[in-house]
Structure formats: structure tokens, C-alpha cells
Amino acid sequence: MQLLSRRRILKTSAGGAALFAMPRGGKADDYPSRPIRLVIPYTAGATGDQIGRLWAGKMPSLLGPTYVENIAGAGGAVGCTAVAQSAPDGYSLLLGNGSTQVMIPLTSARPAYDGINDFRAIYRLVISTLAFAVHPSLPVGDLPGLIAYAKANPGKLSYGTPGVGTGNHLVGEMFKQKRGVTDIVHIPYRGMGPATNDLVGGQIALVIAVVSSYLLQLNQAGKLRVLAVTSEKRLSGAPEIPTVIELGMPDLKYAGWFGLFAPKATPDAVIGRIADVTRTAMADSKLQETYRDQGLEPDTNSGPDQFQRLVEDEFIRLSPVIKSTGLKRD
């Protein structure tokens, strides 16, 4: 895509703020001089919560006292708005992902924040994947079986996600549209934790969830059944679960991510300091192993520039997909 088109798309993302308005200068010599807050825009115990707390747990020895604050709601939009409106001084950070930084701003008619122009990307922590998981009582053993069941029982299925406009929601609507099962009802939750609990409890029959150690444990215990994952390759922690590509549904392939963000005007020196200590933390083999055990792939060589570019490219790539699936709300 030519630069002109790229600029036009990104400048109109959610209000027309300046595209590459990066603050320069600033000192990090005395940073931090007080505790740092990491806002996780999901409920405690959710995949994002686990990811963020692992990072925060490494920071006291590398950066300074760091605490987690869970601000859930609207698929992550409530927590993101809180950080976007915080002072740009490096003391309020966000654990964001493709849903919060790209999907929600793209699908909202009046977004409360701009995923491109209200934040600075710092470091991508992990690459994630999604899973189609059903209640064990549902008489299906694989994804094609789920499609057949949905067609034979119109209007009887619903699926849970952590909210409207999330990547989970996008994959769910693509699944419905491409497989001719459009009457499956979407049920948005305040987070993936409550949705998974309702699946285990039998209140809903299907979730499209970010893969986590908890989800894999529930699958192994027979409390839910994971039918497929949206990654390109099978998970090392659960090699028995097939991918959507293997099942002949490559259009459902989806790779998500979680990473650190700060308010837009945060100084370069502070952004660089956080990125540097995060890179050091991510080089820890024990931390990498812990992330992999959760079905996540740690990123050991991220940074502000490439992560910012990834977010912008994702915005451009997903814009037409969202319009084609009808997720764009006028």
C-alpha cells in the first residue's frame, strides 16, 4: 500500500489526530520515582491478566515498583480510555492487544479513544491464538461437526466472547458468515473469564477464547472441549488440537498479540527505558517457558518502532475485513 493511502486511512482512524506526532526529548534519569501502574483492561484471572501480571512481577528488580489495576468493561475499552486520559509520564501503562488497539476503534461509531493516535507502542510481549471451545454435552467432536450441528439446529447455539468488536468477535462472525450458520447468537461478556465460566457451567455452548493455560487445563480435565485453534501451527502445549488450516478453513486463521502501551505524549526517553528493561525481562528462559505453557509465544526482540508499525499495519489490514463482516457500526 502506498504511503498516501496509509496516511489517509490512519489519520481518519478515530478523529483525525496527527498521524506520527511523536514527542521528542524528555529525561528518564529519575524515572521511575514512584510506583508504576499497569492497567489490564480485563477481569482478574483472564488471559490478559495472567500475561500482564507476569511482566509486572519482573519489573521491581529491573525498573521499579509496579502494580496491576484491572479495569474491565466494553471488551477492554474502559481500561484503554482510562490510560489514554492519564498523564503521559510513564506511570500509567496499558496492556493492550489487537482487539483494544485496532478492533474496538474500528468497529465503534463513536470510539472513546483512538488506538493509533492516543497511544505509543512500547513492546509486544507475546503472540496469542484463539480457540473454538464447546461444552462437553454438545454432541460434536470437531469443527466440521459443530457446523453440521448448527445447521441441523438453527437458532439453538450461542457463542461467548470478551466483548463486541474484539478479535474473538471478528473470528466468530467470519465463522458464521463463511460457514452459513448466521443464526448463532453472539453473547458479549465483560471478559473471557466470565464467558468461560458460563461455558463450563452449561449456560452457553460455545466460546471463542484466547488460548491460556487455564483453558488448556479445562480441556484436559474434560470440562470443555477445544475443537480447533486459529494459529498457523499446532500448539506445543496441546499438540492434539488441530488448527483451522488443517480443517480446511484457512480464512479463520488469526494471530493475536498483547503488548505494552503508554499515553501518546509520553517522552521518548521513558518509552525507551521501559522497552529496554522489558527486553531484558523477556530474555529470561523461565519467563519464556511460563508464557509458552499458557499457549503463548513470547517476543524476545520487540521495540517501540516495530511494534508501532505492526499496530498501524493491522489497522489497515483489518479495515476492509470488518466492513465485509458487518461489524462496522454506523
Q: Which of 215, 231, 252 is the last residue of a domain?
A: 252
Q: Which of 225, 252, 279 is the last residue of a domain?
A: 252
Looking at the structure, tell me whether residues 93 and 205 fall in a common domain.
Answer: no
The strand pairing partners of 45, in sequence order, are: none
Give the N- to C-terminal CA distance of the chain in Å, as an integer. 26
Looking at the structure, tell me whether residues 221 and 157 fall in a common domain.
Answer: yes
Looking at the structure, tell me whether residues 11 and 78 fall in a common domain.
Answer: yes
Eight-class DSSP state of 307: H
The average confidence (pLDDT) of the chain is 89
Looking at the structure, tell me whether residues 273 and 287 fall in a common domain.
Answer: yes
CATH number of the domain where residue 153 is located: 3.40.190.10
At 276-322, the pLDDT tens digits run 999 999 999 999 999 988 889 999 999 999 999 999 999 998 888 88
User: Does some domain include residue 298?
Assistant: yes
Instruction: Please report which confidence band the pLDDT of residue 109 belongs to, taking 50, 70 and 90 as the band edges.
Output: confident
Residue 72 scores a pLDDT above 80: yes
Instruction: Identify the domain containing residue 109 by its residue range.
Output: 3-127+256-325
C-beta of residue 205 within 8 angstroms of C-beta of residue 195: no
> Residue range 247-263: average pLDDT?
94
Residue 8 scores a pLDDT above 70: no
Residue 15 scores a pLDDT above 50: no
pLDDT reported for residue 215: 93
Looking at the structure, tell me whether residues 238 and 307 fall in a common domain.
Answer: no
Alpha carbons 132 and 208: distance in angstroms, whole number: 5
Looking at the structure, tell me whether residues 10 and 63 fall in a common domain.
Answer: yes
Looking at the structure, tell me whether residues 18 and 103 fall in a common domain.
Answer: yes
> Residue range 199-222: average pLDDT?
94
Looking at 117-131, 159-173, 239-253, 294-308, which range is the least confident one? 159-173
User: Does some domain include residue 181?
Assistant: yes
Looking at the structure, tell me whether residues 183 and 138 fall in a common domain.
Answer: yes
> Residue range 130-150: average pLDDT?
97
Which residue did the predictor score with more confidence, 287 or 108? 287
Q: Which of 217, 252, 287 is the last residue of a domain?
A: 252
User: Does some domain include residue 330?
Assistant: no
Quick count: other Cβ atoms within 10 Å of Cβ 11?
15
Looking at the structure, tell me whether residues 183 and 321 fall in a common domain.
Answer: no
At 25-35, the pLDDT tens digits run 445 678 999 99
pLDDT reported for residue 329: 60
Residue 58 scores a pLDDT above 70: yes
**pTM for this predicted structure:** 0.79
Split into its structural domains, the chain has a count of 2
What is 191-204 written as a DSSP string? SHHHHHHHHHTTS-
C-beta of residue 187 within 8 angstroms of C-beta of residue 159: yes
User: Does some domain include residue 45?
Assistant: yes
Residue 5 scores a pLDDT above 70: no
Looking at the structure, tell me whether residues 284 and 171 fall in a common domain.
Answer: no
C-beta of residue 317 within 8 angstroms of C-beta of residue 105: no
What cell was used for 138? 454438545
Looking at the structure, tell me whether residues 138 and 219 fall in a common domain.
Answer: yes
CATH number of the domain where residue 283 is located: 3.40.190.150
User: Does some domain include residue 279?
Assistant: yes
Looking at the structure, tell me whether residues 21 and 47 fall in a common domain.
Answer: yes
